[in-house]
Amino acid sequence: MELLSAYQLEQIENHLQQLLARVLHADGLAKLNGMIRGYVLAGGKRVRPQLCVWTYERVMGVGCGDMTNDPQTTTPNPLFDLACAWELFHAFLLVHDDIIDSAEVRREQSTLHIQLASLDSNCPRFGMNLGIVAGDLLFSAAMRVWHDLELPGDTYRDELRLFSRIATITGFGQAIDICQSHVPMDEVCHETLLREYHWKTAAYTFEGPMLSGAILAGASKEAQDAISRFALSLGQAYQMQNDLQDLLGPVHEGCDIAQGKRTPTLLRARLEMSDQSRKDFDDDLHRTSLAPSVDRIARLRDQIISTDAVHTTRQCITELLSSARYASEDQSLEADLQVGMKQLLTTLQSRYFVHV
């Protein structure tokens, strides 16, 4: 997803590097600081910073990229502080997610806790313990950026309230994800999974960054509400599409089925099975989560695909995208923002929300 000009993307990277140097340093911990900074700066799509800057520009009536095509033109620093704070928050979540999932690779390099283990003879326990602390430091760094913002009083409080709300519900979303993986399949609730998608993905990936840019640009309460509806619908559709890509992509021992992840598509597929087929499916799923087997994963995937569950999920994605488009037509939105949101939807539908 590239919403900004190459120059703006470069500005974000430079600002992120400067922020890390400012908010993440401590005497005697140079190696730790260096590894954390390297982890944050090594790759990533910068989706959240882009959405923050993009929304700010659209509310302000500045065409995407026009604001910074001229290197002599500078975007207000508070905007890039906000944009990069979302990236620090994202990095914090990734570090902890990788520990929870026992992941070894992130962005084609070792996960941070694996890298940190090298500081003590590649001791896994040391790496995980220090990885938890590194994630906490990234969260604290994001908080410091928010608290250091130089903004008018009301705007400052609105930005802090937004971050506090998004951080809290993202944590609850992560808790749902972990708890649901241990709930018996017959007791998994479809509505709970959708709430997880709202809290864990849509809120901090789309709603938070977009609203923070809108608030900074002075968007009205009505416009903020429309942006929120747009972002949450788009974010939930994004997560469902991500699930489908994982399901229909190459089988591997780290995929959602291998981890026993509960998804709306999986729940719908189970409902279409006979009682015996469902019992066999659940037994296979449990065994796979304990000892992943490529053959068993493939068999489970084929069972899911043989139902109408994938088609039903695609219909749900279409409905969510329609809701997002409806929100983009709200009359409280600035004309440039309306046009931009519709263009964003069109672009994503052609590049991301396609059948896999």
Q: What is the spatial distance between Cα 36 and Cα 337, in angstroms, rounded to a whole number?
A: 36
Mean pLDDT over 231-238 rounds to 95
Report which secondary-structure segment, H or E, holds 231.
helix 221-248
Q: What is the DSSP string of 122-161?
A: T-HHHHHHHHHHHHHHHHHHHHHHHHT----HHHHHHHHH
Phi-psi region of 214 (alpha: psi -120 to 50; beta: other; left: phi over 0): alpha
| Residue 33 structure tokens | 């600081």
Report the greatest alpha carbon distance in the chain: 69
Tell how far CA 274 is from the center of its chain.
36
Q: What is the pLDDT of residue 291?
A: 87
Q: What is the pLDDT of residue 260?
A: 81
> Rounded to 5 degrees, what angle do the CA atoms 113, 244, 227 make?
85
pLDDT at 341 > cutoff 90: yes
- Mean pLDDT is lowest, of 58-67, 252-261, 297-306, 324-333, for 58-67
Q: What is the spatial distance between Cα 232 and Cα 240, in angstroms, rounded to a whole number?
A: 12
The percent of residues above 90 in pLDDT, for the chain, comes to: 73
pLDDT digits (tens, 9 = 90+) for 86-114: 999 999 999 999 999 888 989 889 999 99
Report which secondary-structure segment, H or E, holds 57.
helix 47-60
Q: What is the pLDDT of residue 120?
A: 94
Report which secondary-structure segment, H or E, holds 211.
helix 208-216
Q: What is the pLDDT of residue 72?
A: 42
Q: What is the pLDDT of residue 350?
A: 87
Q: What is the pLDDT of residue 77?
A: 84
> Nearest-CA neighbor of 55 among 344, 346, 324?
344
| Residue 143 structure tokens | 């908080």
DSSP β-bridge partners for residue 106:
109
Show the domains of the chain with their CATH numbers.
1-150 (1.10.600.10)
pLDDT digits (tens, 9 = 90+) for 32-85: 999 999 999 998 899 999 999 999 999 998 754 443 334 444 456 899 999 999
Q: What is the spatial distance between Cα 93 and Cα 172, in angstroms, rounded to a whole number?
A: 13
Which DSSP state fits 185? G
pLDDT at 134 > cutoff 90: yes
Q: What's the full length of the chain, in residues?
A: 356
> Within 10 A of 54 (CB to CB), how many other CB atoms are there?
24
pLDDT at 324 > cutoff 90: yes
Q: What is the pLDDT of residue 253?
A: 81
Tell how far CA 268 is from the center of its chain.
24
Tell how far CA 31 is from the center of its chain.
28
